[in-house]
Amino acid sequence: MTFRGFIAADIPPTPDLGSFAADLRAASAALKVVAIHQVHLTLKFLGDIEEGLVPDVVGVIREACTGIAPMAVRVRGTGAFPSLSRMNVVWVGVDGAEPLGRIAAALEAALEPLGFPPERRPWKAHVTLARVKGRQDLDRVRRLLESHAMDEFGVHRIDSVHLKKSVLTPQGAQYSIVESVRLVSE
């Protein structure tokens, strides 16, 4: 049996982030906005994973998290990948996530022998808020992103990294935690 999986740190919703997500939802029907209670910072997208590999993947996560203490991250700024003129993904930025970048790099290296290909693009700390499903009616979205480009959406403590399952539904992806690895201070 397989499931669609990824490794992530959760970003708790804040009123400001919720308000911004609602503004995005109202700005264009071309956006598929993530449910605010499901926002997260992806460290590694796995794609289809065999359930039998879960213990090995969790072992890799534990190893990657060794020596990384809980941290505070600041959710700040807005943008789009690959650019505002050619939006595929709408994101908010994350400052102070360098330790998570070290975890992401360790995951890339250690998961490749298990059959998970490395990401072609460098890892960038961000929280995906919406995916663009069309090219029409994006001017309001661009203006919204530009007007919130420097906004702060909260400071959060990251103390766990999760292996998550993603189930695609007509209402959008539903995420659940398969297993968690706690970050510990040494």
Task: Kindly list the catalytic residues.
Answer: 40, 126
Q: Please name the helix (run of DSSP H) or strand (run of DSSP E) that holds residue 106, with its range, or none.
A: helix 98-111
70, 183 contact by CB (below 8 A): yes
Q: In this structure, what token pair is assigned to residue 122?
A: 């460098």
106, 100 contact by CB (below 8 A): no
**Sequence-distant (≥ 6) Cβ neighbours of residue 109 within 8 angstroms:** 118
CA 24 and chain centroid, separation: 17
Q: Is 131 exposed, middle or buried (0-12, 13-18, 19+ CB in 10 A)?
A: middle
Residue with tokens 């796995």: 46
Under DSSP, is residue 143 helix (H, G, I), strand (E, B) or coil?
Answer: helix
Quick one: which of 44, 46, 41, 43 has its CA closest to 126? Answer: 41
Q: One-letter amino acid identity for 74?
A: R
